Amino acid sequence: MPHYYTLGKIPHKRHTQFRRPDGGLYSEQLFSTEGFSDDYSLLYHCHPPTQIIKTEPQEDVSPQIAEEKMLKHRCFEGFNVKPGGEFLQSRIPVLVNSDCHIVLAAPTSGTGDYFYKNTDGDEMIFVHEGSGTVHTQYGDLPFGYGDYIVLPRGTIYQIEFNDDKNRLFIVESFTPLRYPKRYMSKYGQLMEHAPYCERDIRKPQDLKTYDEHGDFLIKAKKRGVLYKLHYGTHPFDVVGWDGCCYPYIFSIHDFEPITGRVHQPPPVHQTFETNAFVVCSFVPRLYDYHPNAIPAPYNHSNIDSDEVIYYVDGDFMSRKNVTRGMITLHPAGIPHGPHPGAVEKSIGAKETKELAVMVDTFRPLMLTKQALEIENGNYTMSWAE
């Protein structure tokens, strides 16, 4: 999905001899999506990236489902997830289906001396609180508040935080996560009407090559099972790479809102898409400017999708008692809209400072046991006057 990029040293032609200073060959690796039919990158390793020297017993990390079917509005207090643990231990699945897992995390430390690889899905990590660096085979990605960190499936990475105060909203996607097609030209460039452009995409930097032998633990997740694989050479032994499949960062603060004379529908906020769900960014923006405009969103029914909103910061004109880190779930089949009094209150307002992430899934979501532990039970009836 990102545009072509290269970092480090690569040969003039792909699939040709590329030799180390000692005369040996670098090991070429194709990192591709959808077989050999879509975006890919070519990485050049000091050693073959295949040398497993030991394995450990596997661990089941699949979500524990509490409710498979339901038809009522739900709310979860995300900041009630207690901080603690390293990056993987801290990940709490909240809402899941066969297309994606929506996860909360409040890690107090990064991955430490192990490496992580999600072989099931692309990862979108939204940074609500905290900062640090994601280290990958492709280079480093420094991150901070408001960043979407996008990691294609199979990316080997380590995450390092600058301190122990971190809050993450994570979506694991089992279909490729991409820019919306309507933002793209037929040649792959982000078009003028898109709410962001290539300049806003932060690519890996500062490629470091670790030409090391030893025992390197990679924790790899596949189909809900965590495998512990020990490799004989450092996974970040890449001297160079090029292509269009690599991790990157896009900041929600670089999303340019689309506004109009009357209230605009949610697709104007779309940021990413898959075959199974979309991601939208609600950012500070001017309200509608028709003289009789009603800035509050109209009541609407989710006929084809479950709507999840993760509230980040700011004031939300459409509902009361919003807390930072709150997650609301409005399932398909039942209408929802502004809380009582919110419509009249919104008339005449000029702008909003809200910041939120929305995920609309085309298949129903299921609740995990951990979700029930942080549920706000009063939310379902909160529209009653």
- Yes or no: say if 299 and 335 are a contact pair by the CB < 8 Å rule: yes
d(CA 236, CA 211): 8
- Provide the phi-psi class of 171: left if phi over 0, else alpha when psi is between -120 and 50, else beta: beta
The widest CA-to-CA distance across the chain, in whole angstroms, is 78
Query: Side chain identity at 331, as an amino acid letter?
Result: P
d(CA 370, CA 204): 34
Please tell me whether 306 is known to bind a ligand.
yes
Instruction: Please give the backbone phi and psi of residue 43, each rounded to the nearest 5 degrees, phi first.
Output: -115, 145
Please, what's the b/e burial string for 319-350 (b: 16 or more CB within 10 A of its CB; e: otherwise)? beebebbbbbbbbbeeebbbbeebbeebeeee
Residue 35 burial by Cβ neighbours in a 10 Å radius (0-12, 13-18, 19+): exposed
Tokens of 58: 């596997």
DSSP state of 357: E
Instruction: Please tell me which residue in 15, 263, 269, 330 is annotated as part of the active site.
Output: 263
> How many C-beta neighbours within 10 Å does residue 50 have?
11
Distances (CA, A) of 54 to 118, 278, 314: 19, 39, 49
CA proximity to 40, closest of 120, 152, 197: 152
> How many C-beta neighbours within 10 Å does residue 153 have?
20
Residue 73 catalytic?
no
- Yes or no: say if 168 and 105 are a contact pair by the CB < 8 Å rule: yes
Instruction: Give the torsion sign (CA, 76, 77, 79, 80).
Output: negative
Please, what's the b/e burial string for 208-239 (b: 16 or more CB within 10 A of its CB; e: otherwise)? ebeeeeeebbbbbbeeeebbebebbbbbbbbb
Binding positions for Fe cation are 300, 306, 336
Residues with catalytic function: 263
Q: What residues are designated binding site?
A: 300, 306, 336
Detail the residues annotated as belonging to a binding site for homogentisate.
336
